[in-house]
Amino acid sequence: MPRRLLPAVALVLASLQADAQDAEWSRFRGPSGAGLAPRGARLPAVLDPEKNLRWKSELPPGNSSPCLSAQRVFVTGCREGELQTVCLDRADGRLLWTRGVKPSALEKTHEINSPASPTPTSDGQNVISYFGSFGLVAHDLEGQELWRRALPPAKNTFGTAASPVIAGGQLIFVCDSEESSFLEALEPATGKTLWRKERAGFKSGWSTPGLWSRESKGGEGSAGMTEELLVLGVGWLTAYDLAGGERWSFPGLTDEPITTPIAGNGLVYATSYNLKTNADAMLLWSYEKVLAEHDHDSDGALDAAELAENASVLSRPDADGEGDHPLALFQRFLDVDKDSRITAAEYAKLRAWVDSWEHLNGIVALRPGTDERPAELAWHYPRGVPECPSPVLAGGRLYMVMNGGTVTCLDAESGALVFEARLAARGPYYASLVAGDGKLYAASARGELTVFAEGAKFEVLSTLDLGERLMATPALADGGVFVRTESSLRAFGLDG
């Protein structure tokens, strides 16, 4: 690139990044899915119901995160089989409206999932919700239904979780499932399809796309910026332009894509979790260990009663049992001769299944591909890998939180470990980290919130136990923190 263009490109990039951080928190994890508060925001270091709770409102059960737009807060929920979009006044938490759709049946989900897990998105004029049991439904800000797109129930292993997003004035919707996977762009006001990209070969996925702006070449040596969607699917991270064209991809990643990719410093960051090679997990038991623990009649096999005793032969640690794989779960898969007993030869099927997991385990930094070269691995860090919470990039450092409250901080450019620390709030973590004003906010599924300082040294600023199940990622806006539990939404501010 001609040197005279470098300052101009730098200015454009800085402007685009500033615009992103000035934007509304109107999608999962806020602008671009990066989990960063608006630029220049002031945020509380302490979340205290007695001192700075602005309001609390009851909600129908659900896992979706808050979407903020035009002085409103949108969430979804499921009550008595009705899938609901709920609109609250973001200044005082008053219920403005609730609109529901009734599916013919609710999709089957994992016990920790919900029929209302995807987060709504808004362009400031419309709000669009997605439910795996129903499809897409759009309302204006006053609750008037604008359009709906009924879709067949998603055939997804653990139920739906990926959220729709607005990018480039388009509603972007990724649906990776066992039967038909695709990426589609729609007109937010009408639901009209603008383009659709089939994703053949991709199976169940739960990752919401990220968005980033990168340098691109124009005609006659000119340069500009191009926005790319970052879509994490089974085995691959794929970047698409906003017309649905595939720009580059990188293979060898997780077979259960959940987290949202993020970008910065010219790199794209993604997590890839592998339960087989993850040093923080409980690895698959040997058959000898299973027999030693449960073969009480010493016949060299496990009957139904002995199988039922086993709590887990493969486990995610510190997850309150939610990551366990009890042997009885695999009985139908393993019991080839249907005699209600598991032998060494049958147990070998489980070992072969786990051994087939060849994908990488770790947080990866990728140099994105160009017309001249494919994407490359810049660095890889194999410890502290979160399965569900997405990482956040703040102040040149990459932060992650995983089950058990382990926080890992890496240098974003080199991947070098800055620190590893343990929060007092233990148990499983599904909500993603968010950051702003020199602070990071972590939320455990047990309902414990931790605020810690951005920087090279780990420093806890405050903790709060809400005593409620907490799956949703907090939203940062209006000088405050919006926290959605299973049954309520709270807004904390700099003062009450």
Query: What's the CATH number where 488 sits?
Result: 2.40.128.630
Distance CA 49, CA 190 (A): 41
Looking at residue 315, its pLDDT comes to 87
Q: Are residues 317 and 390 in the same domain?
A: no
The reply to whether 334 falls in a domain is yes
Q: How many domains does the chain have?
A: 2
The reply to whether 197 falls in a domain is no
Q: Is 118 helix (H, G, I), strand (E, B) or coil?
A: coil
Tell me whether residue 205 is exposed, middle or buried, using C-beta atoms within 10 angstroms of its C-beta: 0 to 12, 13 to 18, 19 or more. buried
Q: Are residues 421 and 495 in the same domain?
A: yes
Q: What is the mean pLDDT of residues 145-165?
A: 93
Q: What share of the chain is helix, strand, coil (3-state, %, to 5)?
A: 15, 35, 50
pLDDT above 90 coverage of the chain, percent: 85
Category of 172 on φ-ψ map: left (φ > 0), alpha (ψ -120 to 50) or beta: beta
Q: Is pLDDT above 50 for 19?
A: no
The reply to whether 221 falls in a domain is no
Distance CA 301, CA 406 (A): 38
Q: What is the mean pLDDT of residues 361-365?
A: 98
Are 128 and 122 in contact, with CB atoms under 8 Å apart? yes
Distance CA 421, CA 380 (A): 19
pLDDT band (50, 70, 90) for residue 196:
very high
Residue 420: CB partners within 8 Å, gap ≥ 6?
383, 384, 406, 407, 408, 409
pLDDT tens-digit series, residues 80-112: 999 999 999 999 999 999 999 999 999 999 889
Q: What is the DSSP letter of 442?
A: E
* CA dist 61 → 11, 137, 361 (Å): 45, 19, 33
Looking at residue 21, its pLDDT comes to 39
Q: Are residues 388 and 347 in the same domain?
A: no
Start-to-end C-alpha separation, the chain: 52
Q: Are residues 345 and 396 in the same domain?
A: no
Looking at residue 496, its pLDDT comes to 59
Distance CA 317, CA 295 (A): 25
Distance CA 362, CA 271 (A): 6
Q: Are residues 392 and 451 in the same domain?
A: yes
Q: Is pLDDT above 80 for 138?
A: yes
Looking at residue 487, its pLDDT comes to 92
pLDDT tens-digit series, residues 53-78: 999 999 999 999 999 999 999 999 99
Looking at residue 393, its pLDDT comes to 98
Q: Which two tokens stand for residue 40?
A: 């220049």
Q: Are residues 335 and 404 in the same domain?
A: no
CB-based burial, 359-378: b 16+ in 10 Å, e otherwise: bbbbbbbbbbeeeeeebeeb
pLDDT above 70 coverage of the chain, percent: 94
The reply to whether 302 falls in a domain is yes
Q: What is the mean pLDDT of residues 313-322?
A: 89
Q: Which two tokens stand for residue 392?
A: 């956040």
Residue type, 429: Y
Q: Residue 298: which domain range?
A: 287-355
Looking at residue 2, its pLDDT comes to 39
Looking at residue 15, its pLDDT comes to 40
pLDDT band (50, 70, 90) for residue 471:
very high
Q: Are residues 396 and 483 in the same domain?
A: yes
Looking at residue 152, its pLDDT comes to 87
Residues listed for the chain: 496
Task: Give me the helices (H) in 274-330, please.
Answer: 287-294, 304-309
Are 159 and 110 in contact, with CB atoms under 8 Å apart? yes
Residue type, 459: E
**If we measure between CA atoms, which residue out of 358, 375, 386 comes closest to residue 271?**
386
Q: Are residues 389 and 466 in the same domain?
A: yes
Distance CA 200, CA 236 (A): 12
The per-type count for the chain, helices as H runs and strands as E runs, is: 5, 34
Q: Is pLDDT above 90 for 221?
A: no
Among 355, 374, 392, the domain-final residue is 355
Computed over every residue of the chain, the mean pLDDT equals 92
The reply to whether 478 falls in a domain is yes
The reply to whether 413 falls in a domain is yes
pLDDT tens-digit series, residues 385-417: 999 999 999 999 999 999 999 999 999 999 999
* CA dist 178 → 48, 157, 158, 203, 204 (Å): 44, 8, 11, 5, 5
Q: Is pLDDT above 90 for 216?
A: no
Q: Are residues 488 and 397 in the same domain?
A: yes
Q: Is pLDDT above 50 for 5?
A: no
pLDDT tens-digit series, residues 106-123: 999 988 999 999 999 999
Looking at residue 220, its pLDDT comes to 52
Q: Are residues 424 and 477 in the same domain?
A: yes
Say which CATH number the domain at 300 has. 1.10.238
Q: Which two tokens stand for residue 95?
A: 């219920």
Q: Is pLDDT above 70 for 278?
A: yes
Q: Which two tokens stand for residue 161?
A: 């979780």
Q: Is pLDDT above 70 for 148?
A: yes
pLDDT tens-digit series, residues 411-451: 999 999 999 999 999 999 999 999 999 999 999 999 999 99
Residue 325: CB partners within 8 Å, gap ≥ 6?
312, 313, 314, 315
Q: Which two tokens stand for residue 42?
A: 């002031």
Looking at residue 407, its pLDDT comes to 99
Q: Is pLDDT above 90 for 229?
A: yes
Distance CA 170, CA 495 (A): 37
Q: Which two tokens stand for residue 234?
A: 């089974």
Distance CA 143, CA 126 (A): 9
The reply to whether 401 falls in a domain is yes
User: Tokens 């129903």 identify what position?
Assistant: 134
Distance CA 47, CA 476 (A): 13
The reply to whether 428 falls in a domain is yes
Q: Are residues 434 and 482 in the same domain?
A: yes
